[in-house]
Every structure is written in C-alpha cells, then in structure tokens.
C-alpha cells in the first residue's frame, strides 16, 4: 500500500481529486487530499496574510496528525507543485517520490510570480474587490473560488535538492489555449535523465481530462 498526498492548484479544493482518489483507493492505496487555507470550502478563512508558508504549514500539520505517514508520494497540481516541494524539503525522511501535474517545480527563492509567464502575471494582478483574492479563471471548476495573492508572490525557501527523492515525475498538459505557464518548467526537466516525464493530450485539469492516464502514472511511481 502506498500513501499518496494530493495537493490542489490555485482556486481549487481537495474535491478536484475525488475521482482520482477513488480510483487509487479501489486499488488498495491510501490517499490523503487537502484543501488549503482560504480556498474553496475553506474560503471563509481567506485574508491578506494567507501566503505560501500558510499552505505549507497546512499540509505539514495535517501529515503530523496521520499515523504512519512515511514513504509518501506527494502529488501537486499547478500551484500545488510549490507546496509539495516545500513540504518535501521539511520532511524529506518521510517522502519517497514527487509528482508534478502540470505544476511549478521551484528552486530556492522562486515563486509562482517568477516562474510563470506574462499572461499569468496579468491574471495574478487582476485581484478582486478584497485586494488580495485572485479570481478563478473561466475554465476552472464551478466550485473554484478566489485564491490568496500572497501565496503566488512569496518566494519558497528550500534547504536541499530534489535529487534526495527516489522518483521525480512531471506530467505536461498539451492543450493550453495559449502558451502554457508551465512550458519553461517542462522544458527544464524533459531531457533530464533524473526525471520521468509524460506529455498528455489534455487540458490543464488533467484529473478531468486524463484520469486513466494519471492512475497509470501514479501506480508506476511506486515501481
């Protein structure tokens, strides 16, 4: 049995993984999925001070409350790549592998702002009336809510290299309506022999468009 930890991207809650989680559980695996502070069903907790460190702490605290949280496979979608990288850095001894689903892969000092493209930066800057909420994009799930701006702006602080982890996997989504904000990230790891990469004919929400592919990829990580 493998323990998968699923972290959603901006504006989304743990519910975006419901079908994927059910498929993994049906195969006998343990799945933990968390909605982050200030987003989705936890949107009532949003305030200007919610940042990347808040979300990293969310996951660390949740895992600390779990029994036998070892040999973890951390899976981050989109913005969730920032979170799983920082979490893995803090509890490296408990983590086996990392999987980035069309997600950012930061190095020390990076932020979503520095890693993304101009189109996405324009989206971040177009905050709602609160001054700190980044509204969901039109193609997001109907349940999506505004996302705390500071989480996208705060640089991540990392102490070690990702080479510590047994497997590192990146899954690229091919069907972006314009340049993918993860194009530079994918290009960086695509030809790196230390990474396993996939490119799927699906839109950014790969959990919706390519569920069977993701199940296969996640099961393969444990081999």
pTM beyond cutoff 0.85: yes
Among candidate residues 33, 67, 78, 111, the one labeled active-site is 78
What end-to-end distance do the CA atoms of the chain give, in Å?
A: 12
User: Which pLDDT tens digit goes with each residue over 182-208?
Assistant: 999 999 999 999 999 999 999 999 999
Whether the CB-CB separation of 39 and 12 falls below 8 Å is answered with yes
Helices assigned H by DSSP within 27-98: 52-64, 80-90
Confidence of residue 115 (pLDDT cuts 50, 70, 90): very high
Domain range summary for the chain, segments of one domain joined by +: 3-221
Kindly state the tokens that stand for 2.
């493998």
Domain 3-221 matching CATH 3.30.1330.50: the answer reads no
Two tokens at 3?
A: 């323990």
Per-residue pLDDT tens over the stretch 122-179: 999 999 999 999 999 999 999 999 999 999 999 999 999 999 999 999 999 999 989 9
pLDDT at residue number 50:
98
Check: CB of residue 92 under 8 Å from CB of residue 63.
no
Calpha distance 45→52 (Å, rounded): 14
Q: What is the pLDDT of residue 48?
A: 97
pLDDT at 216: 98
Tens-digit pLDDT profile for residues 27-60: 999 999 999 999 999 999 999 999 999 999 999 9
Q: Has 199 been annotated as catalytic?
A: no
């Amino acid at each position: 049995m493998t323990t998968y930890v699923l972290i959603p991207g901006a504006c989304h809650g743990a519910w975006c993984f419901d079908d994927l989680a059910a498929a993994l559980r049906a195969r006998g695996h343990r799945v933990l999925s968390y909605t982050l502070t200030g987003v989705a069903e936890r949107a009532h907790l949003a305030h200007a001070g919610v940042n990347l460190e808040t979300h990293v702490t969310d996951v660390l605290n949740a895992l600390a409350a779990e029994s036998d949280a070892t040999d973890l496979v951390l899976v981050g979608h989109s913005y969730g790549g920032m979170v799983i990288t920082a979490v893995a850095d803090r509890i490296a001894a408990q983590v086996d592998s990392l999987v980035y689903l069309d997600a950012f892969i930061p190095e020390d000092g990076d932020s979503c702002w520095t890693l993304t493209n101009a189109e996405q930066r324009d989206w971040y800057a177009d905050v709602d009336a609160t001054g700190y909420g980044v509204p969901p994009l039109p193609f997001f799930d109907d349940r999506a809510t505004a996302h705390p701006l500071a989480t996208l702006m705060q640089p991540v602080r990392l102490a070690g290299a990702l080479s510590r982890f047994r497997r590192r996997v990146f899954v690229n989504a091919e069907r972006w309506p314009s340049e993918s904000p993860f194009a530079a990230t994918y290009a960086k790891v695509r030809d790196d022999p230390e990474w396993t990469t996939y490119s799927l004919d699906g839109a950014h929400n790969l959990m919706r468009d390519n569920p069977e592919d993701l199940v296969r990829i996640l099961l393969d990580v444990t081999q």
